[in-house]
Structure formats: structure tokens, C-alpha cells
Amino acid sequence: MKDTDAKFFCLSMSPAIDATVRLPSAPRGEGEIFKDVAEEENVGGKAVNVARWLAGRGAKVCCGGLLGEDNDRPFARELAKYGIEDRFVRVAGATRRNEMITWPGGSVKLNRAAFPGLDSLDEFDVLGGIKGESPGVAILSGSLPPCCPKSFYADAVMRLKSLGWTVVLDASGEPMRLALDAKPDLIKPNAEECEPLVGFTPKTADEFAKATSILREKAAHVVISDGGAGAWFDGEFVAAPKVEVVDTTAAGDTLLAEYCWRVFWESAENTAAQWAVAAGSAACTMPGGAPPPARVVEKLMDEV
């Protein structure tokens, strides 16, 4: 898909400011106070992470969804930095802030609900920003805010496919289950997210093969990530190289973005899975969802 009109549209309904707080030691009990604390912030949300990686690879990308008016400037700056076209709809209030708290040997993550004060999407058309665009690849990724109906992704997949777009979906739970009936072109659940879709959480090679087979009745291509072990691509396993994990934020998003870049832009299907796992592993070495340097991905590619 190297045509100059090729474009990725990334839809983020639950963007976030991702903060990583690093404690010098593990918490020992209630009331403990840490003074020597390091903290970093990055703008993110699953589809924003995907868009940033694709743009860094040289793809033409636009990104849409919802942003809070009160703190949209960091997002606008980040999109401009990477040359990502801003198609976000601004709504009242602030975009959420998530936190990953880490210490040597452990971590905990706090994910907040997006736009809890927004009652409905009736007055917003979050797909309106692509009207008149030549169809490309649409990547719908992340959780939905409380105001979104569970059928939101199903409706979006149907609308986009009717316009000729190739649709990639990375979601979970009921929104993902309903969207499968709209037949997205590629889906990327993780192992745990398979349970409500196929009735079990795959753990063995046979179980991953079975889950893939069931899901491919609804989607042409299925990528199932399996944490630090690696990922399954249409039933074929690619093991992840060993890395020193700093923060797992955006690891799955980077994996998906690299895979889409290799398949839909570079037409390099033969090595796409290996590059995707290398990129996802590299993302684990970075704090707060920050994209890893390309040289780190290239080095890990030799170890996949």
C-alpha cells in the first residue's frame, strides 16, 4: 500500500495522559511516604500510541475521536510533532490521566474512566473528520467512555467498511463481541480478552489455535498477544525476545502499529509478525508509553 494516497485513520475514544511514577523501593505498608520519586508524562491512549508509531515510521496518519477542551494542548503539540493530522472532536471537560506506579520488581496501574461527565455522543460525529477521504486503513483501538453504547464499534466498523475502508479493531469485552458481527478485517485481542469472545482463555498452543480458528469466522486476520511470551498471528506463534521491562504501556499498541505498517504500507507480510513482536518488546523498555528508538527495534529483530 505504498500509493501516495494511502493513509491510516486512528480512532481514540478514550485518550489519556499516561504518567509513570517510579518509586525507589517497593511499598511496605499503609501510610508510607515516598520523597524520592521520579515521574514522566506522555500523551497516549491506545489509538494515539498506534498513530504516533505509524507516523514515526513515515506513514500518512490522521487521528480522531474525543479530546477534552481543558487539557487538549499536550495532545495537539504531540500530533503536530509527528505530523499527525488532528481530526479530534473537542468536548467539555478534561481528558483523563492514567498512572503506572513502578518499583524494583513490581508495578500497579491506575486506569480512569474517560469523559465521565459526557452524557451521550448524539451531538458529535467522531467519524466526520474522514468525509471525502480516499479509503485507507482505519484502526479503532481502546476502551469506550461511559457515554458510548456497547454497539459503538460495531456501528463504526459497518460504516467504515461501507465506505471502502480496511478496518482493524483492538478492543475488548462486549464492544468487541458485538463488533465481530460487523466483520472487521483484522482484530487484536490479548489472551485474557479472548475469554468472552470464544468461551475460554487460551494457554496452550492447541488452545491458541482453536481460539484463532473461532475468531477467523468473524475476522479475516487474528493477532492474539500473549504478554511477555510473544504473540500469535493467524495461529503462528512468534516468541518475544527477553528485555528489561520498564513499563508495558503501549507495548501492544506498538506491536499492532508495526504489524499494520509492515502489512498495509510496506507490503512485507513475510516478516511483519517478527517486526511487530520486536517493536512491542522494545516498547516495554520505555517509560509511560514513549515510542522506543528504531535502532532498539532493529536490534531486537535479530533476536526474534
SS3 for 21-89 is EECCCCCCCCCCCCCCCEEEEEEECHHHHHHHHHHHCCCCEEEEEEEEHHHCHHHHHHHHHHCCEEEEE
- Nearest Cα neighbor of 176 from 205, 201, 143, 222 is 143
Helix (H, G, I), strand (E, B) or coil at 200: coil
As a whole number, the mean pLDDT across the chain is: 92
Average pLDDT score over residue span 243-272: 91
For the chain, how far is it from start to end, CA to CA, in angstroms?
25
9-30 pLDDT, tens per residue? 999 999 999 888 989 899 988 8
Q: What is the model's pTM?
A: 0.91
Residue range 257-283: average pLDDT? 94
Rounded to 5 degrees, φ, ψ at 233 are -115, 105
* Percentages of the chain per state (helix, strand, coil), in multiples of 5: 35, 25, 40
Q: Are strands 97-103 and 166-170 parallel, antiparallel or unpaired?
A: unpaired
Q: What are phi and psi of 294, to 5 degrees?
A: -60, -35
* Percent above pLDDT 90 for the chain: 75
Q: Domain limits of the chain?
A: 8-26+38-301
Determine how β-strand 85-91 pairs with β-strand 137-141. unpaired
Strand order in the sheet with 16-22: 38-44, 16-22, 97-103, 106-110
State the angle between helix axes of 46-56 and 73-82 in degrees (0 to 180), rounded to the nearest 10: 30
CATH level 3 topology of 8-26+38-301: UDP-N-acetylmuramoyl-L-alanine:D-glutamate ligase (3.40.1190)
* Whole-number pLDDT of residue 163: 95
Do 87 and 75 form a contact (C-beta atoms < 8 A)? no
